[in-house]
């Protein structure tokens, strides 16, 4: 049973008073984290080449114990697949032996979630984003992204129901696949916002998301922006501003992380040195000494994401930044942020329903003026 909004707000405010330094901290649980490979499948595609081959592989993490544990799908962005091309830039797909594994770059988040009692899976989505198969319009991902996510969750459901060990773990009865949360980075943020319109979720975290006009679903949502994002600057804020103009039942939390770049949330990209923040050419707050290292940026998002999903999906004690009232934090987990939230209306207050949804009937913005850099 999810605590009422009143109880959750009081609990979060008490946590602020007791200790800001250890906000949201919780003992880690033992986990099993593995890379998995279910093999190649063909998914429908309307282009001249016919169905597209997609390899169902990625990373999965599950807390030890019988469960069942709630599930979060962790979706990487479109960062290129590293497949070869001709001198005239005709690209090839697939290229399993050299593919850029952006999915494994989200493995640190899979592990962090599992340590907080939340099962997580990060599928390879390059098949949705590749331009090496039938895709002249650049729009194929709008159909293939949900197809890969659905197929992955379906295969996981079979493993949970039957005990099949194709994921490299014994999963029988250990994961609740019926109501997953969703964490989505970069272009997958736009895909996720569209996906949940037809596939309701209890919790959504958009991580430096691309914005192409989609509205936020009425699910409890956290949005993380990167202050030094060269790829999609200001687009994360667009989701929050659009949500503020609509009547919602669920709260939205927004944090713009100082010194963070777009790519360094993904460890595959950071290992390759793809620091997009350097292209801001000395913008205030984004000069090289001011930008976060990959380790600090990934460590921060690990704590933030794990606290968010543990609170919403497992009714864990909320961190102070998830309080529905009170002052805005200037720092979260030791790093400076620009924070905003859409909080439940104080009046009239409706009772929260049982289960993971129905926390608030209407939300209003509690907005602090943002700097021009953060609202680009």
The 10s digit of each residue's pLDDT in 53-65 is 999 999 999 999 9
Distance CA 237, CA 210 (A): 10
The share of the chain scoring above pLDDT 90, in percent, equals 67
Tell me, what's the pLDDT at 92? 84
The token pair at 350 is: 């409706």
Alpha helices in 199-252 (DSSP H): 235-244
**pLDDT surpassing 90 at residue 1:** no
Tell me, what's the pLDDT at 136? 54
Closest CA to 103 of 185, 217, 190: 185
Domain ranges of the chain: 5-366
Tell me, what's the pLDDT at 56? 98
| Helices 107-115, 294-314: crossing angle, 10 deg rounding | 40
- Look up the CATH number of domain 5-366: 3.40.50.1820
Q: What is the mean pLDDT of residues 93-98?
A: 91
Tell me, what's the pLDDT at 298? 98
The 10s digit of each residue's pLDDT in 307-357 is 999 999 999 999 999 999 999 999 999 999 999 999 875 423 233 333 444
The 10s digit of each residue's pLDDT in 210-222 is 999 999 989 999 9
Residue 40 bridge partners (DSSP): 55
Q: What is the mean pLDDT of residues 224-241?
A: 96
Bond preceding residue 72 cis, omega within 30 of 0: no
Tell me, what's the pLDDT at 349? 26
More confident residue, 84 or 34: 34
Angle at 265 between CA 89 and CA 216, to 5 degrees: 90
The 10s digit of each residue's pLDDT in 17-55 is 333 334 445 667 899 999 999 999 999 887 778 899 999
The share of the chain scoring above pLDDT 70, in percent, equals 81
CA 238 to chain centre: 17
DSSP-derived letter for residue 45 is: -
The 10s digit of each residue's pLDDT in 272-309 is 999 999 999 878 899 999 999 999 999 999 999 999 99
**Half-sphere exposure at residue 345, Cβ-oriented, CA atoms within 13 angstroms:** 12
Mean pLDDT computed over every residue of the chain = 85
Distance CA 52, CA 38 (A): 16
Read off φ and ψ for residue 43, nearest 5 degrees: -115, 145
What is the secondary structure of 290-318 as a DSSP string? GSPPHHHHHHHHHHHHHHHHHHHHH-PPP
More confident residue, 81 or 114: 114
Distance CA 301, CA 207 (A): 9
């Amino acid at each position: 049973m999810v605590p009422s909004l009143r109880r959750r707000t009081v609990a979060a405010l008490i946590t602020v008073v007791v200790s800001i330094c250890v906000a949201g901290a919780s003992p880690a649980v033992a986990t099993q984290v593995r890379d998995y490979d279910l093999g190649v499948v063909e998914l429908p595609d309307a282009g001249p080449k016919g169905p597209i081959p997609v390899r169902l592989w990625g990373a999965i993490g599950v807390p030890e114990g019988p469960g069942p544990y709630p599930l979060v799908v962790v979706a990487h962005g479109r960062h290129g697949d590293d497949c070869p091309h001709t001198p005239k830039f005709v690209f090839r797909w697939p290229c399993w032996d050299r593919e850029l594994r952006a999915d494994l770059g989200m493995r640190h988040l899979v592990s962090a979630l599992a340590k907080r009692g939340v099962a997580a899976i990060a599928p390879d989505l390059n098949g949705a984003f590749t331009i090496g198969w039938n895709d002249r319009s650049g729009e194929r991902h709008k159909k293939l992204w949900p197809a890969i996510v659905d197929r992955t969750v379906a295969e996981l459901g079979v493993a949970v129901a039957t005990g099949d060990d194709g994921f490299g773990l014994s999963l029988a009865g250990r994961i609740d696949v019926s109501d997953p949360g969703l964490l989505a980075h970069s272009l997958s943020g736009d895909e996720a916002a569209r996906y949940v319109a037809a596939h309701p979720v209890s919790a959504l975290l958009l991580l430096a998301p691309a914005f192409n006009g989609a509205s936020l679903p009425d699910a409890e949502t956290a949005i993380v922006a990167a202050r030094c994002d060269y790829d999609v600057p200001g687009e994360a804020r667009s989701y929050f501003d659009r949500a503020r103009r609509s009547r919602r039942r669920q709260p939205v939390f927004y944090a713009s992380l100082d010194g963070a770049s777009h790519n360094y949330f993904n460890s595959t990209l950071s290992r390759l040195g793809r620091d997009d923040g350097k292209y801001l050419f000395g913008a205030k707050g984004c000069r090289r000494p001011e930008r976060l290292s990959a380790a600090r940026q990934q460590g921060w998002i690990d704590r933030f994401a794990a606290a968010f999903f543990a609170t919403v999906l497992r009714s864990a004690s909320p961190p102070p930044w998830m309080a529905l009232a009170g002052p805005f934090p200037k720092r979260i987990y030791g790093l400076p942020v620009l924070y905003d939230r859409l909080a439940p209306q104080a009046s009239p207050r409706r009772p929260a329903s049982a289960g993971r949804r129905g926390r608030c009937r209407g939300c209003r913005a509690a907005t602090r003026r943002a700097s021009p850099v953060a609202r680009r």
